[in-house]
Amino acid sequence: MSADASHTAAAPAYHRPAVGMGLRGFVADWSGDQHTFHVAWGKAMMWIFLLSDTFIFGSFLTGYMTVRGSTTVPWPNPSEVFALKMFGVDVPLLLIAIMTFVLISSSGTMAMAVNCAYSRDRRNAVRLMVVTAIFGATFVGMQAFEWSKLIADGFRPWGNPKGAAQFGSAFFMITGFHGLHVTAGVIYLLVVARRLHTGFYEKRGNYQIVEIAGLYWHFVDLVWVFIFAFFYLW
């Protein structure tokens, strides 16, 4: 066997040329066992999902900015609406700052979990993923407290006592949709951590699922940064 032939036989699937030209070659290139563009299918599908989610969140935030910029009724002051009373003093955006710190910290633990997974340090990868999930659950719990506080103060999706009625609908829709993503992410991380702990991925010899879960989690964190900037600081 020549050197070229042996190199072709040993090359990964995504380095092999198409079986044929035309439709048959196209189907062979995109079949289920191929790595298109040198990217595994799981990672490629996650990127496509995150791209579609980017359009959704982008539309929500664009609609929010349009409504806020066009309304003739005074917009509620976020520093007053989201203030938290500490020792008898209203501290502006205190709870939101803590929520942001918790979620940003979870990105760090998730990044360390991915690094441990690729280093075959399964035990620490599981621990870090669980810690990340706990951070996420803490964030959702604080968001539920924030919602309950605002509802008790008279804020509704159709109105509020401190200004433009659109404030309530924008707040509950955008933060609720993001909170749903965080909740789904917590469940996702715990399922992956459970499988990682039981050795499910060890049998397959591939820990890339941890990185894919990390992509989703970093996206959720990034979206919150935009929500925090546009909704709470503007």
CA pair distance 28, 56, nearest whole angstrom: 33
Check residue 14 and give its pLDDT: 39
Name the pLDDT band for 201 (thresholds 50, 70, 90).
confident
Q: Which residues contact 54 (CB under 8 A, 6 or more apart)?
A: 219
How much of the chain is helix, strand and coil, in % rounded to 5? 75, 5, 20
CA pair distance 138, 2, nearest whole angstrom: 61
CA pair distance 234, 230, nearest whole angstrom: 5
Beta bridge partners of 90: 85
> Residue 1 pLDDT more than 50?
no
CA pair distance 80, 228, nearest whole angstrom: 15
Indicate yes or no: pTM above 0.85. Answer: no
Tell me the C-alpha to C-alpha distance, in Å, between residue 206 and each of 19, 49, 124, 140, 211: 27, 22, 16, 31, 11
Per the CB < 8 A criterion, the answer to whether 75 and 183 are in contact is: no
Q: Which residues contact 55 (CB under 8 A, 6 or more apart)?
A: none
| Position 205, amino acid | G
Name the pLDDT band for 234 (thresholds 50, 70, 90).
confident
pLDDT digit string, tens, across residues 184-196: 999 999 999 999 9
Percent of the chain with pLDDT over 90: 56
At residue 8's C-alpha, the angle toward residues 15 and 23, to 5°, is 50
Q: Which residues of 16-27 are buried (b: 16+ CB within 10 A; e: fewer)?
A: eeeeeeeeeeee
pLDDT digit string, tens, across residues 75-102: 898 888 898 888 878 889 999 999 999 9
Q: What number does CATH give the domain 40-232?
A: 1.20.120.80
Name the pLDDT band for 66 (thresholds 50, 70, 90).
very high
pLDDT digit string, tens, across residues 29-64: 666 555 555 677 788 899 999 999 999 999 999 999
What length does the chain have?
Answer: 234
Domain ranges of the chain: 1-38, 40-232
> Residue 4 pLDDT more than 60?
no
Q: In degrees rounded to 5, what are phi and psi of residue 40? A: -65, 150
